[in-house]
Amino acid sequence: MTEPSLIKIQNLSGSMSQRVYQSLRDAILSMQYPPGTLIRKGAICEQLGVSRSPVSEALAKLSSEGLVDVIPQSATKVSCFSMDEIREASFLRQALEIAAVEKVALERTTEQLAALTRNVRMQRLLVEDEDFAGFYEADEEFHTLLMNFTGFDGVSHVLDSVSLHLTRARMLVLPEQGRPIEAVKEHEAILLAIKEQDATAARKAMKYHLELLVPRILPLEETHAEYFKV
């Protein structure tokens, strides 16, 4: 019970490696394993009751995604933030979401528009009820819906994989007065542009919306210096 940090047990699906991967990934993204944490294969094996093979595979995958840094023959630790990486992730995210919203604006069906409208209405209600956890989920769903409405199955996952560092950093930035209602308004602007099938307006609204994240992360380099690269 006094373990420094817990990992979800295996009521997950898929192969052993995948379950270990999901478990570790979740621990890292949720900041239960904060940046810099040393990862010991042996400890993981013991905790999860599996051998080193699936753990190695999981770590290899996390390494290729940049969530862990592996120092050859020596150690592997949860990767630290760097402003360069965060800016890069933000650039990539913008590139993808802007391309997506342009395409969706031009090609959306009335059903898709209805789904987005429903989601945004829900966002407003959740914020008015001050259910910020619920809003966070709805926010994520809004962007996921957009990705899926491009008609390409994989873009959502690609976005996730390039946004990993942003997702993690956002956990530290969550509480900010008055931000959620602003975010809702920005979503409404995006929605309006999609409704009117105005690709240019959609692009601008999305760009404005996404550009606000990095400035909110910047102060972290001071306030959470221990999470950043030397």
Partner DNA sequence: AATCGTCAACTAACATGTTAGTACAAAGGT
Partner DNA sequence: ACCTTTGTACTAACATGTTAGTTGACGATT
| Residues lying near a copy of itself in the complex (CB under 8 A) | 15, 17, 56-57, 60-61, 64, 72, 84-85, 87-88, 91-92, 94-96, 98-100, 103, 150, 152-155, 158, 162
Q: Which stretch binds DNA (CB under 7 A): 46-54, 114-122, 170-178, 189-197?
A: 46-54
**How far apart are CB 210 and DNA at their closest, in Å?**
35
Any residues with CB less than 8 A from the CB of 198 and at least 6 apart, and which? 105
Is 5 an interacting residue with respect to DNA (CB under 7 A)?
no
Q: What share of the chain is helix, strand, coil (3-state, %, to 5)?
A: 65, 5, 30
Q: What does the block give as tokens for 210?
A: 């996404």
**How far apart are CB 98 and a copy of itself at their closest, in Å?**
7
Any residues with CB less than 8 A from the CB of 110 and at least 6 apart, and which? none
Angle in degrees, 0-180, between the axes of helices 83-107 and 132-148, rounded to the nearest 10: 60
Is 75 an interacting residue with respect to DNA (CB under 7 A)?
yes
- Order across the sheet with 75-78: list the strands: 38-39, 75-78, 68-71
User: Within 10 A of 168 (CB to CB), how many other CB atoms are there?
Assistant: 22
If contact means CB under 5 to 8 A according to the sort of partner, which of a copy of itself, DNA, none does residue 190 touch? none
Report DSSP state, residue 68.
E
**Of the two residues 78 and 96, which places its CB atom closer to a copy of itself in the complex?**
96
Considering only residues 51 through 70, tell me which ones interact with DNA, judged by CB under 7 A: 51-54, 56-57, 70
If contact means CB under 5 to 8 A according to the sort of partner, which of DNA, a copy of itself, none does residue 99 touch? a copy of itself
Instruction: Give the span between the Cα atoms of 110 and 195, in whole angstroms.
Output: 9
Is 34 an interacting residue with respect to DNA (CB under 7 A)?
no
Is 42 an interacting residue with respect to DNA (CB under 7 A)?
yes
**Of the two residues 10 and 56, which places its CB atom closer to a copy of itself in the complex?**
56
56 with 41: CB under 8 angstroms?
A: yes
Name the residues that contact DNA, by CB under 7 A.
15-17, 39-42, 50-54, 56-57, 70-76
